[in-house]
């Protein structure tokens, strides 16, 4: 819109288990919970951000027990890190599946899955 500045706000993903997802996004990736909204019997919304606090991920936990199929339109979430080797070591220690960039690639990254199967890319900040 002309004369109106648009800024990214958040990306929402539906999760099956709130505790497992918080352990992954906060415990492993280092995001911080900045807001939580309990919608009674319907859902709990948890907003996470990084140190810059410029963008948020909203984890939506619906309490009705429904299951989800990850669609083929969604690609992945991506996070920058300074020390990818340290992350790879941690992923290996946890016994998680990962796919690493080819040695000939101009970018250095890995892909892992969150507890719900979403693809998460972790790449070196210099891979911009």
> What is the per-residue pLDDT across 24-35, written as a single tens digit (0 to 9) for each?
999 999 999 999
Beta bridge partners of 15: 61
**pLDDT the model gives residue 2:** 61
Considering the entire predicted model, what is its pTM? 0.83
Q: What is the pLDDT of residue 61?
A: 96
Between residues 103 and 98, the one the model is more confident about? 98
Domains and CATH numbers, the chain: 1-64 (3.10.180.10), 75-128 (3.10.180.10)
Q: Is 20 a catalytic residue?
A: no
| Token couple for 115 | 């507890």
Strand partners, 14: 60
Q: What is the model's pLDDT at position 106?
A: 86
Tell me phi and psi for residue 53, to 5 degrees.
55, 30
Q: For residues 81 and 87, what is the distance between their CA atoms, to the nearest angstrom?
A: 8
**Mean of the per-residue pLDDT values of the chain:** 91
């Amino acid at each position: 819109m002309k004369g109106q500045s648009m800024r990214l706000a958040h990306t929402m993903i539906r999760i099956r288990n709130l505790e497992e997802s918080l352990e992954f996004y906060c415990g492993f990736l280092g995001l911080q919970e900045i807001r939580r909204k309990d919608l009674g019997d319907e859902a709990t919304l948890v907003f996470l951000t990084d140190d810059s606090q410029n963008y948020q991920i909203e984890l939506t936990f619906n309490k009705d027990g429904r299951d989800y199929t990850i669609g083929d339109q969604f690609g992945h979430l991506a996070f920058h890190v300074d020390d990818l080797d340290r992350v790879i070591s941690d992923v290996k220690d946890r016994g998680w599946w990962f796919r690493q960039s080819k040695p000939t690639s101009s970018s250095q990254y890995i892909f892992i899955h969150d507890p719900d199967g979403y693809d998460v890319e972790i790449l070196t900040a210099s891979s911009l």
